[in-house]
A and B are shown apart, each in its own frame.
Chain A
Amino acid sequence: MAEHTDAVIEIRDVSKLFGPVAAVDGVSFGIIRGEFFSLLGPSGCGKTTLLRMLAGFEQPSRGEILIDSQPMAGVPANKRPTNMVFQSYAIFPHLNVEENVGYGLRNRKLGKDETRSRVVAALDLVKLSGYGKRGAHQLSGGQRQRVALARALVCRPKVLLLDEPLGALDKKLREEMQLELRQLQRNVGITFVFVTHDQEEALTLSDRIAVMSSGKVLQIARSDDLYENPNCREVAEFIGNMNLFEGKVAAVAQGNVTIATAAGTFTVPHVAPIGAGNAVHLAIRPEKLALSADKPAPGLNAVKGRVIAQTYLGDRRQFLTQIDGMAKPLAISRQISGAESPISTDSDVWVTWPPQLGRLLTS
């Protein structure tokens, strides 16, 4: 939980009930001024509902939301210092680009020239100069997205809310827009709250990510931290690929824990106090595992298995290795450099990893 002094948004124990169902369930955290913050989770996890509560389209059933230290209870969407980029972009079909971008400026008592120059500047910012007179239906998907961004940014919100804005674009355009979005956010310095179900997108764009599931926040962390140090099984499995060994704590010593699993006994670093006999998981990423035909050196965690499938992925090769005593095969990812010795399917192999690369998950 980030009890940061410069939190632009504070979410305090917020829940949202739809009938008996809690779409958002007792969530508390803060969002720091100027950061690119993502809400990541599968569809139905409550991330969009949380975003809509920030925007003012839904009211929390419990708890409170503060923006710039102001409580937002009872403040309608049109009075909040937030603006939103909608999933469908919601470009007004009866207005042209300029009128769309200038929509929010009309009741701000700005002079005509001021309004004009702000619209022009906003269009410039999203690289749409000269498109002002285009009709809404003459725009491509990427252009619509830029108009939606310009329309929100022109109001100079304290927080920009983005509801899966890249979901409707094809893969290549999406990657381009990710880069642009990140640069744009650095340039304008506005806090972005970005909702997505795409973990890669979240990892690429964000300063910090909140992973949500079933209405709860599982973990909030920087991208690299989230990948390297997931705090529970759900996060570990949602972000990238992860191999899991189920087992019990056998011994605790000097910041290391030895756990006994059906596939053998392994060592994993762990500093927090934990008692022997606790049910835990050992998590290890596929790219941290090594394969060899020879018996490994001592000091490494090692387990014997049989390669049952391998997939060529261009820059790397993925092996599936069946281990005695384990239901799921281990996934091992190996960079292709050209120097490694080939491993054939159905051969017996050793899977090894240095103990410090594994992670112990207690929940």
Chain B
Amino acid sequence: MIQRRPDWLAGYGLLSPAIIIMAVMMVTPLLAMVALSFWTQQGFELDRSFTLANYFALVEPSSEPTYWMGIPFPLTYPVPAILLIKSLAMSLAITLAVIALAYPMAYFLAFHVRGQKALWLVLLTIPFWTSYLLRVFAWKIMLGFNGAINSGLKSLGILTEPLSFLLYNPLAVMITLIHAWVAFAVLPIFVSLDKIDRSYLEAATDLGDSRLRRFLQVTLPLSAPGTIGAALLVFIPTVGDYVTPTLVGGPSGTMIGNLIQELFLKQNNAPLGAAVSITMMVTIAAIVTLFLWLIGFRRLRSRAR
């Protein structure tokens, strides 16, 4: 649009307000958090001498291991490690369930809906935009001791005593998070399925593939980038979620996010909280990178173009 000055100058000029906001709101706070994680909290005072004590506290060995799910954690302060492993495991299970539920829906939208694609897509998007807090709270009403399921079954005469195992456990957290993310995951999968040139599928059938074989040989590999993208979009944020475990998790359903919140707002140990946050982020980043490297994501993506 602008010709007089070099193009790139005008381009960066137009970008600069957004870049400045991103830098101020994202980069500086993250740097501050890194800095804080190398300091220590002494009562109400902050000791600003550099130390690795916060990180050391997370891995300090102990001769008496703490057991969680039969796994020994030989650490003096095992809570962060246990919660991190637990959160990762729960997120993994959530992600797999979300993909398993979302894929057929995306497939239906891409291949079986003709006229009203837009309507289905809007219906899928609406819950994503509406209050996350309310969606979580709905499950508390649903699963509670006096909740919709228990009172409903009781009033139908199926139950005499309410089921107490519905709420306040990891499963309740997982169901709630699956519900919160499943519609969101449909969209990237749908996009990658919708992009597939229908003549590839016709060619596969023409060359003698059965429907199942065609799906495994053509459709699934070509939709892999969208599916993997969806999986990451679910996995990464759910590891750090804390609203859901707070509302429906109970003591057994806590996740790493709860610990971070507690260290900051209740235990007044922000430096340790910062160290836990950074450890969580680095762990997630490492897992995602390793995963993408293992499956050769670049190759997959370039193939689907």
Give 1 or 0 for each of B1-14: 1 = CB within 8 Å of chain A CB: 00110000000000
Chain A residues lying within 8 Å of B4, measured Cβ to Cβ, are: 74, 76
Nearest-CB distance from A254 to chain B (Å)?
58
Chain B residues lying within 8 Å of A56, measured Cβ to Cβ, are: 3
Chain B residues lying within 8 Å of A59, measured Cβ to Cβ, are: 3
> Whose C-beta in chain A lies nearest to the C-beta of B7?
A59
> Whose C-beta in chain B lies nearest to the C-beta of A78?
B3
Task: State which residues 257-274 of A face B: CB under 8 Å.
Answer: none
- The answer to whether A128 has its CB under 8 Å from any CB of chain B is no
Nearest-CB distance from A51 to chain B (Å)?
16
Q: How many residues of B contact A (CB 8 A)?
A: 2
- The answer to whether A190 has its CB under 8 Å from any CB of chain B is no
Task: State which residues 1-53 of B face A: CB under 8 Å.
Answer: 3-4
Q: How many residues of A contact B (CB 8 A)?
A: 6
- Alpha-carbon distance between A74 and B4 when the two chains are bound, in angstroms: 7
Give 1 or 0 for each of A49-82: 1 = CB within 8 Å of chain B CB: 0000000110100000000000000101100000
Nearest-CB distance from A78 to chain B (Å)?
9
- Alpha-carbon distance between A76 and B3 when the two chains are bound, in angstroms: 6
Chain A residues lying within 8 Å of B3, measured Cβ to Cβ, are: 56-57, 59, 76-77
- Alpha-carbon distance between A59 and B3 when the two chains are bound, in angstroms: 9
> Whose C-beta in chain B lies nearest to the C-beta of A79?
B3
Nearest-CB distance from B150 to chain A (Å)?
57
Nearest-CB distance from B3 to chain A (Å)?
4
Nearest-CB distance from A105 to chain B (Å)?
21
Nearest-CB distance from A214 to chain B (Å)?
26
Give 1 or 0 for each of A277-296: 1 = CB within 8 Å of chain B CB: 00000000000000000000
- Alpha-carbon distance between A3 and B206 when the two chains are bound, in angstroms: 63
- Alpha-carbon distance between A59 and B4 when the two chains are bound, in angstroms: 10
- Alpha-carbon distance between A22 and B91 when the two chains are bound, in angstroms: 53
Nearest-CB distance from B11 to chain A (Å)?
16
Nearest-CB distance from B237 to chain A (Å)?
39
Task: State which residues 20-66 of A face B: CB under 8 Å.
Answer: 56-57, 59
> Whose C-beta in chain A lies nearest to the C-beta of B4?
A76
> Whose C-beta in chain B lies nearest to the C-beta of A75?
B3
Task: State which residues 309-333 of A face B: CB under 8 Å.
Answer: none
Chain B residues lying within 8 Å of A76, measured Cβ to Cβ, are: 3-4
Nearest-CB distance from A253 to chain B (Å)?
59
> Whose C-beta in chain B lies nearest to the C-beta of A57?
B3
Chain B residues lying within 8 Å of A77, measured Cβ to Cβ, are: 3
Nearest-CB distance from B4 to chain A (Å)?
6
> Whose C-beta in chain B lies nearest to the C-beta of A77?
B3
- Alpha-carbon distance between A57 and B4 when the two chains are bound, in angstroms: 11
- Alpha-carbon distance between A56 and B4 when the two chains are bound, in angstroms: 11
- Alpha-carbon distance between A335 and B221 when the two chains are bound, in angstroms: 57
Nearest-CB distance from B164 to chain A (Å)?
62
- Alpha-carbon distance between A74 and B3 when the two chains are bound, in angstroms: 8
Nearest-CB distance from B199 to chain A (Å)?
25
Nearest-CB distance from B243 to chain A (Å)?
44
Task: State which residues 111-156 of A face B: CB under 8 Å.
Answer: none
Nearest-CB distance from A65 to chain B (Å)?
14
Nearest-CB distance from B2 to chain A (Å)?
8
- Alpha-carbon distance between A57 and B1 when the two chains are bound, in angstroms: 9
Nearest-CB distance from A1 to chain B (Å)?
29
Nearest-CB distance from B6 to chain A (Å)?
10
Nearest-CB distance from B278 to chain A (Å)?
41
Chain B residues lying within 8 Å of A57, measured Cβ to Cβ, are: 3
Task: State which residues 251-288 of B face A: CB under 8 Å.
Answer: none
- Alpha-carbon distance between A77 and B3 when the two chains are bound, in angstroms: 8
Nearest-CB distance from B137 to chain A (Å)?
44
Nearest-CB distance from A304 to chain B (Å)?
49
Give 1 or 0 for each of B58-72: 1 = CB within 8 Å of chain A CB: 000000000000000
- Alpha-carbon distance between A212 and B230 when the two chains are bound, in angstroms: 49
Nearest-CB distance from B9 to chain A (Å)?
14
> Whose C-beta in chain B lies nearest to the C-beta of A56?
B3
Chain B residues lying within 8 Å of A74, measured Cβ to Cβ, are: 4
- Alpha-carbon distance between A56 and B1 when the two chains are bound, in angstroms: 11
- Alpha-carbon distance between A57 and B3 when the two chains are bound, in angstroms: 8
Nearest-CB distance from B210 to chain A (Å)?
42
- Alpha-carbon distance between A152 and B3 when the two chains are bound, in angstroms: 21
Nearest-CB distance from B147 to chain A (Å)?
53
Nearest-CB distance from B277 to chain A (Å)?
43
Nearest-CB distance from B1 to chain A (Å)?
10
- Alpha-carbon distance between A59 and B5 when the two chains are bound, in angstroms: 11
- Alpha-carbon distance between A77 and B4 when the two chains are bound, in angstroms: 10
- Alpha-carbon distance between A76 and B1 when the two chains are bound, in angstroms: 10
Nearest-CB distance from A86 to chain B (Å)?
15
Nearest-CB distance from B276 to chain A (Å)?
47
Nearest-CB distance from A248 to chain B (Å)?
50
A residues bordering B, Cβ < 8 Å?
Answer: 56-57, 59, 74, 76-77
Closest 7 CB pairs of A and B: A76-B3, A76-B4, A77-B3, A56-B3, A74-B4, A59-B3, A57-B3
Q: List 7 A-B contacts (CB under 8 A).
A: A56-B3, A57-B3, A59-B3, A74-B4, A76-B3, A76-B4, A77-B3
